[in-house]
């Protein structure tokens, strides 16, 4: 079986899904969340952990999710990724 491959929203590179984080819109809370377990429906986007913060600054996450997102809220969520060291 070929593992599922997704395109990183940040660098447009392709990667195995398990190497990427999925961001999705939590309609109940009205925030962007990290879909760790790939359980949230609706629109989502995939990013390398290191690509997530720059992508959020460029505003591409809101575009991918087709809704205005609060970039500060997204940045706060991404801070929870706790990437190791400066990317």
In the complex, least distance from residue 11 CB atom to Zn ion, rounded to whole angstroms: 3
- Residue with Cβ nearer Zn ion (22 or 48): 48
51 interacts with Zn ion by CB under 5 A? yes
- DSSP codes, 19-61: GSEEEEEETTTTEEEE-TTS---S-EEEE-HHHHHHHHHHTHH
Would you call 62 helix, strand, or coil by DSSP?
helix
- Residue with Cβ nearer Zn ion (8 or 77): 8
In the complex, least distance from residue 13 CB atom to Zn ion, rounded to whole angstroms: 5
10 interacts with Zn ion by CB under 5 A? yes
Contact 33, 77 (CB under 8 A): yes
8 interacts with Zn ion by CB under 5 A? yes
Contact 59, 52 (CB under 8 A): no
Q: Which of 21, 44, 45, 48 binds Zn ion (CB under 5 A)?
A: 48
64 interacts with Zn ion by CB under 5 A? no
């Amino acid at each position: 079986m070929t593992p599922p491959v997704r395109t990183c929203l940040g660098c447009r590179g392709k990667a195995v899904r398990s190497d990427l984080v999925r961001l999705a819109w939590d309609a109940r809370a009205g925030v962007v969340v990290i879909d760790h377990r790939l359980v949230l429906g609706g629109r989502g986007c995939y990013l390398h952990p290191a690509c997530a913060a720059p992508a959020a600054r460029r505003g591409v996450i809101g575009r991918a999710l087709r809704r205005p997102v609060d970039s500060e809220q997204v940045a706060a969520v991404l801070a929870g990724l706790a990437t190791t060291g400066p990317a």
